[in-house]
Structure 1
Amino acid sequence: MQGSGSQTKRSGALLAYKGDRLKPLRAFCQVARLGSVSRAAEALFLSQPAVTLQLQALERDLGVRLLERSGRRLVPTREGEALYELARPLVEQFDGLTTAFRDQLRGMDAGELQIAAGTATILHLLPPIIAAYRMAQPEVRLSLHNVTGESGLDLLRRDAVDLAVGSMLDVPGDLEYAPVYRFDPMLITPHGHPLAQKAELALEDLSPYGLILPPRRLTTYRLVDMVFHQHRVPYTVAMEVGGWEVIKRYVAMGLGISIVTAMCLDGADLAHLTARPLVRWFPRRSYGVVMRKGKQPSPQARAFIELIKPDLFDADGARRGAHSDR
């Protein structure tokens, strides 16, 4: 028991010693920054003798001279420069601890928002929405989970995310889907491709050319397959690859054609691709918010949803009928 008590006393003395070192380090950093004991004393609200005593104690403790006079200024010695580089960030962090702590508490009070979305949605649909949300809710910690299909729905079911943003054909019974945006289906080909030059397109015109599509587990593949089968038109898939950016690149290289939503096409793409609408055969593609049925959204999630679909909640905060957009 006696040994434990002695160890406690030594630990307490060591902590007190380290705590006492902060004041001399703060005084040294101010003198090194301002070049004067008097100016440092004013900045620290101390007397000049108090600052001088702290500097002397620090030099005595470290066994080196830390400051020397150069003209009318005090400047760090070589050892002083080394100490200043080490001590300045520590002193600044300690002095800013209270403000940083309060900011952290405000961030905790503001909460967080977790959103699941696929790459195309994150790249092409969400940027202006996220920018507007950040302006309206700057203290909310926002996380985007780049996942597609069932992976995103699994996160939603496990409450790992607050909501998902994407496109759905079939809505499971435990989820609700509120479509917000609709985009035209587009055929993309390389410039100079026979389909790019054809005056009028028929669905049968696509049959001879291999399609580059996302993996078959995803909505786009299922939609393309459904439309071709409904019209009894044969088709071939030349390649399955994930990501619209990759698909557009491969089409531009002449490796196949594809059917995409207008959402993922911009002016830079049209410098390499020809895009033609296919609304005669393919439905417009909806993108919207997916939520767990019966779960009330957090205030952070509701603020996001109201930003893009303000009519989804009634005056009492209850969700109006979200549905599938088949």
Structure 2
Amino acid sequence: MDRLRAMQCFVRAVELGSLSAAARSLATTQPTVSKQIAALEASLGVRLLERGPARVVPTDEGARFLESARRLLEDYEDAVTALDEGTRQPRGLVRISAPVALGELHLHRLMLQALQQYPELRIDLMLEDRYVDPVAERYDLMVRIGSALPPDMVARELARWPRYIVASADYVRRHGRPRRLEDLARHPFLRYPLGEDDTVTLTGPDGTREVPVQTRYRLNNAVALLDAVREGAGIAFQPCWMVNGLLRRKELVRLLPQWSGPTQTVHLVYPPRRRQPMRVQVMLELLSTTIRAL
């Protein structure tokens, strides 16, 4: 019996609540996980799990053993990390979750550079805007923008990004530039299908204002929303990291530049550990540096 593997199966089964979920997270089969845990129980002479039709829960002995098993697995990872640091070559798989737009526009290129720089590194970059469970889905690192942060995780704040009111240069030529907040109501506003449709919140020299707008088009994809703005369909809030380059190239125009929309806050989230594996350390620093520079 591979005791480390058996303990890993046990820990994952407890964390996820089922043998099948543990098997999926470990890229194996449910019977294999069941056999590994049964062999571990036989070697220890105690029952670690109560197995129900839908869930498994630790016995009293299993609950006591759980933290020791976690520490042993972490010690093993630390030992592997020390070897990696000795060779100065990160290797193995890093699983990363990030929002779709940020991944498409910036992080995808970073991943390609990392793969070229570190030949023994493997990366799973999963681009999703939904809430991701870092434990159940086995992510090493998660980039979170403005969403609830998971409990029992380290959350490193990387940046705060203002939202600008922008339009295409062609739109401004055809429809004119709003000069006052009240002028926004004359322009079609493009936005996410969240919150109120008839007002937007702006912060500027006079504090915070709720400003009436007319919403003509709503969509739930940030890249598509930016494309609609570039096509001249209307005006919209856009976070600075999405539009700074387009503003510099004068493809977009910032409207009422003394006013900004609600700020986006971005965090890098990861499990608490005494020492992250070298492969995770490398990607953590690359992501931090890249995102802070946007």
Query: In the TM superposition, what are the counterparts of 1:251-266 in structure 2 within 5 Å?
Result: 251-265=229-243, 266=245
2:191 is the alignment partner of 1:227: no
TM-score by structure 2 length? 0.52
Instruction: Report how many aligned residue pairs link the two structures.
Output: 194
Query: In the TM superposition, what are the counterparts of 1:42-121 in structure 2 within 5 Å?
Result: 110-121=91-102
Distance 1:309 1:245 in 2: 22
2:105 is the alignment partner of 1:124: yes
5+ unaligned residues in a row in structure 1: which ranges?
Answer: 1-108, 311-326
Alpha-carbon contact 1:180-1:308 (below 8 Å) kept: no
Summarize deviations over 1:14-41 as a string: whole Å, max 9, x none: xxxxxxxxxxxxxxxxxxxxxxxxxxxx
In the other structure, the counterpart of 1:285 is 264
Summarize deviations over 1:216-263 as a string: whole Å, max 9, x none: 2xxxx69x9773596232334322213333212322344322111122
Alpha-carbon contact 2:144-2:268 (below 8 Å) kept: yes
Distance 1:213 1:120 in 2: 15
- The structure whose Rg is larger is 1
* 1:303 positional shift: 1.7
Choose the corresponding residue for 1:274, options 253, 272, 276.
253
Flag the 1:308–1:273 CA change in 2: closer, same or farther, 3 A. Answer: closer
* 1:157 positional shift: 3.5
Summarize deviations over 1:109-143 as a string: whole Å, max 9, x none: 92101111122111223145324432443211111
SS of equivalent to 2:115: helix
* 1:161 positional shift: 1.9
Distance 1:273 1:161 in 2: 36
In the other structure, the counterpart of 2:155 is 177
Alpha-carbon contact 1:195-1:205 (below 8 Å) kept: no
SS of equivalent to 2:261: coil
Structure holding more strand per residue: 2
Distance 2:258 2:154 in 1: 26
* 1:264 positional shift: 1.7
2:165 is the alignment partner of 1:187: yes
Distance 1:201 1:194 in 2: 17
* 1:214 positional shift: 2.8
Look up the equivalent residue of 1:146 and give its one-letter code.
L
Alpha-carbon contact 1:251-1:258 (below 8 Å) kept: yes
Flag the 1:228–1:128 CA change in 2: closer, same or farther, 3 A. Answer: same
Which structure is richer in relative contact order (CA contacts within 8 A, separation 6 or more)? 2
Flag the 1:231–1:210 CA change in 2: closer, same or farther, 3 A. Answer: same
Distance 1:124 1:214 in 2: 19
In the other structure, the counterpart of 1:5 is none
Q: What is the RMSD computed on CA atoms of the aligned residues? A: 3.9
Summarize deviations over 1:157-177 as a string: whole Å, max 9, x none: 414321212412543444443
5+ unaligned residues in a row in structure 2: which ranges?
Answer: 1-89, 290-294
In the other structure, the counterpart of 1:249 is 227
Flag the 1:139–1:273 CA change in 2: closer, same or farther, 3 A. Answer: same
Structure holding more helix per residue: 1
Distance 2:235 2:284 in 1: 35
Flag the 1:243–1:199 CA change in 2: closer, same or farther, 3 A. Answer: closer
Alpha-carbon contact 2:164-2:259 (below 8 Å) kept: no
SS of equivalent to 1:227: strand
Percent same amino acid among aligned pairs? 16
Distance 1:226 1:157 in 2: 36
Choose the corresponding residue for 1:306, options 273, 279, 285.
285
Distance 1:237 1:253 in 2: 17
In the other structure, the counterpart of 2:13 is none
